[in-house]
């Protein structure tokens, strides 16, 4: 673990950038999810599926923790030392946004399921990379990893129960 302490203004700018990038990815996924509430209501869902209204608050909290995590990594190590970890973070963030397009916009159940498996692995790799730099940052990704594991099972169950809607 490196001891990199940027100035307070630099830390503030980096925090704004971390939140901006993270919530930009969230917005990209949200664009694909404009009709998600109505579509989700149409689907045959397992009994353990959460109500549609729960996804927004959960994802908002997870994106906040993701932004804080990447900021802590940058703050702890600086960009040159954290470049690989930040790169993994950016990759998983793009995969996160892609899932909404595959599932809600394009209704490709098999592709969404395969992609969410990759997303889970990317989050795990990101958490491992963050662990080497900031234990707190890695722990901030644990709820995200757990939620995506749950979402993976939910994606599978919904896809298999709705072949007519999720080809």
Asked if the structure places residue 139 within a domain, the reply is yes
Tokens 């996924």 -> residue: 29
H helix or E strand, kind and range, residue 138: helix 135-140
Q: What is the pLDDT of residues 60-98, one digit of tens each?
A: 999 999 999 999 999 999 888 999 999 999 999 999 999
Is there a contact between 67 and 22 (Cβ–Cβ < 8 Å)?
yes
Range of the domain at 19: 8-161
- Residue 167: inside a domain: no
Gyration radius of the chain over CA positions: 17
Cβ(152)–Cβ(117) below 8 Å: yes
- Considering the domain boundaries, does residue 104 fall inside one? yes
DSSP 3: -
In this structure, is residue 166 part of a structural domain? no
Question: 1 in a domain, yes or no?
Answer: no
Residue tagged 């009709």 (tokens): 35
Q: How confident is the model at residue 3 (pLDDT cuts 50, 70, 90)?
A: low
Which CATH number does the domain housing residue 55 bear?
A: 1.20.1260.100
Asked whether residue 149 is domain-assigned, the answer is yes
Sorted by sequence, the CB contacts under 8 Å of residue 5 that are 6+ apart come out as 75
Residue 69 CB contacts under 8 Å (≥ 6 apart), including other chains: 89, 130, 134, 136, 137, 138, 140, 141
User: What is the domain count for the chain?
Assistant: 1
Give a yes or no: residue 84 inside a domain: yes
Q: Quick: pLDDT tens for 18-46.
A: 999 999 999 999 999 999 989 999 999 99
Domain contains 3: no
Compute the distance between CA of residue 76 and CA of residue 71 in angstroms, rounded to an integer: 8
Reading phi first (left if > 0) and then psi (alpha if -120 to 50, else beta), residue 71 is in alpha
pLDDT in tens, 110-161: 999 999 999 999 999 999 999 999 999 999 999 999 999 999 999 999 999 9
């Amino acid at each position: 673990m490196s001891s990199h302490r940027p100035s307070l203004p630099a830390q503030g700018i980096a925090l704004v950038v971390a939140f901006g990038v993270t919530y930009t990815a969230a917005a990209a996924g949200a664009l694909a999810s404009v009709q998600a509430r109505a579509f989700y209501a149409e689907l045959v869902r397992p009994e353990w599926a959460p109500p549609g209204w729960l996804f927004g608050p959960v994802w908002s909290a997870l994106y906040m923790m993701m932004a804080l995590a990447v900021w802590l990594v940058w703050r702890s190590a600086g960009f040159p030392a954290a470049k690989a970890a930040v790169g993994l973070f950016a990759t998983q963030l793009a995969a996160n946004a892609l899932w909404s397009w595959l599932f809600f916009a394009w209704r490709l159940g098999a592709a969404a399921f395969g992609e969410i498996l990759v997303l889970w692995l990317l989050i795990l790799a990101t958490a491992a990379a963050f662990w080497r730099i900031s234990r707190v940052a890695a722990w901030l990704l644990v709820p995200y990893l757990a939620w995506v594991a749950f979402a993976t099972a939910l994606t599978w169950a919904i896809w298999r129960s709705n072949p007519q809607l999720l080809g």
